[in-house]
Structure 1
Amino acid sequence: MPTKRKDGRIQTSVTITNSLTGERKKVYVYGYTEDEVKRELNRVKLDNGKEILMPTFKKWADEWLKIKSDDVSPTTINSYKDSLRLHISPILDKYKLKDITPSLVRVVLRNIPTQRTKEYCYIIINAILNQALREDLINKNPCINVKKPKSKPKEASIITNEEFNMLLNSAKSAKNTQFEIILRLAFDTGMRRSEICALRWEDIDFNKNIIHVRHAIKIDRYAPIETRFSIGEPKTDYGIRDIALTGILKLNLQKHQIRQKEFFKNKNRILSLKDFVFMSQHHLRLGNFIQPDNITHEFVKLKRKAGIKSDITFKSFRHTCLTSLAEANIPAKAIQAHAGHANASFTLNRYVHRTEKMEQEVGDFLNKRNESL
């Protein structure tokens, strides 16, 4: 009910509800005449308090992360959170969505040192504001007027046979037999770190010479340490696949299994098919899976010990394996299935590298074609 204030104005209120969050808020309107109050009251009702309840970028970014969590993996969500925390939020968080301008987006991008990170942050900001546009929170996405940064993906190095042998010798000299098997597995299969860590003995069929890739280690860096690592499915649905088990890898895995059985016997325990192929050596986690980051750290140590100067990383094994399949003229669809990707074009564009052997085969083919003429 309208009331008269001491300053002569008429005051009344209306409760509005944010249709997105369910938040209710009482809004007071003022005027010197009843008509003025009525007009202001109607404006607030028609707008449903959109202007008043307009969320800040921070609040909407949090909501957007919840929306995206239904579509992407926890690892991707954590990647979004890291980019927001490090580069985007310090500048945009305090602004309401309607107040974000192309200039503010450019300020964010200008303060980012690398081109690839600029491109990634632009993609995130654009996605957040596009979602706000679809929810009718804003009338225009300011990213439309900002040129998208472009970066050239850094091509991963291929591991040479010499480097692979150097890594194996480095693992042998360190008496790290478990990591020696991991190196061989990565070289022969191109499996992801997370898939290697989640591999159980029941996933290896020594009779049919097949490795069943069914699980992967999921990492939530924002979760408490005790729940940070968990067992889940591979990165995509296509990641669930079967991979051929080579003869030399089979022999090494069987020897590794015998060593594990002996180790467990000394601990008064029987190795089961449910046990992990690669186990943590830490006394508090004995028998549990190893963490993907540990593979990276161990690889760096062995690479340094071996004296390898190139810029290869553990992920280079994946590139090396898939490139070698392409060199052998394996069909693109088969390479895609081996990699666990959604389509062959992504596999070929991102993971298969042009090599001298490929170019030589092209030259040989053209020479034979010319001879036939």
Structure 2
Amino acid sequence: MSTNNVKQIHSFGQSIWLDFIDRAIISSGKLQKLIDEDGVRGVTSNPAIFEKAITSSSDYDADIKALAADSKTNEELFFGLAVKDIQTACDLFKSVYEEEVKGADGYVSLEVSPFLALKTDETIAQALKLWKQVDRENVMIKIPGTQPGLAAIQKTISEGLNINVTLLFGLDRYEAVTEAYISGLEDRLAKGLPINNISSVASFFLSRIDVIVDPLLDEKGLGEFKGEVAIASAKKAYEIYKRVFTTGRWDKLAAAGAKPQRLLWASTSSKNPAFKDTKYVEALIGKDTVDTVPLETIEAFRDHGIAADTLEQGLDGATALLEKLKTAGIDLDAITQTLEDEGIDKFNKPFEKLLQSIEDQKNKI
């Protein structure tokens, strides 16, 4: 019997996490099957995923009714629903979390309210609250890697939380996120507190970059590079990762048991139908990384994906391509800032829709 294509990815040192959650996938046994057969090693969620889960089924109706009496706001009611799902998923992944290298994987991510993306203090307060509510050592709290989010990341790491830094598009911001992580660990170690049980990932978003850049490439006569800029950026991010986590400064933390903040590839489904549907997954398989993948892309990779150690291939070409963009007058820094701004909006809108649907459901009770 041939090895499962998705499971093969793990042999190259990369973990596949599922970018989806709802009650049906948990209760049906489908999530357990993904763990057993495909080697899926974690789950990520976001406001858009929960909006789809809660509004497209009746699975949450009874809990909405039960929570309505005690929740002051619809947002509190939502987090009551979400926390229950996250706890169940964390329990399902506990065996993965407790494998021979404890804490290497088995994480389930829950995001703070997207309304807080530009609010440092409120983000810190809600992250701490959600961490206590979920009460599972293998939960990760998602905090956007916005400029105001950097201080929140540092503080919550210093408080001992596992943090999934989301919404990263640019290389400079990614490096600032690694600084926030390392500084948070240093703050915690300075207080005499353990740092060996903390895990973090930095979620670098891919295909959305190409959606914006590809039409500009056509305009500049660089059309042959369509679908390659996001991959080139990710390869350069991995260079930063390898540099940052091999310094003398990092070695001191590693000696105290600290784990590097792994890069996580997000937005890995192909938005352009002209591209192979496993394109972004295949291009960025490499050691000590995570790829969070929608269910449809996992199924596609299982069917026809090719697992190979690709992440560090073509680094010179990646560097040259980013230089070509500069020469052509394509400002990638400005584009990635626009993507961050749009990304916040893309999470705000479904969250607003979700809160309205909860309100509508309450009114039916």
Q: Which has the higher contact order (CA 8 A, sep 6+)?
A: 2
Normalising by the smaller structure, the TM-score range is: under 0.3
TM-score norm. by structure 1 comes to 0.23
Larger Rg: 1
Higher share of residues assigned helix? 2
Q: Normalising by structure 2, what TM-score?
A: 0.23
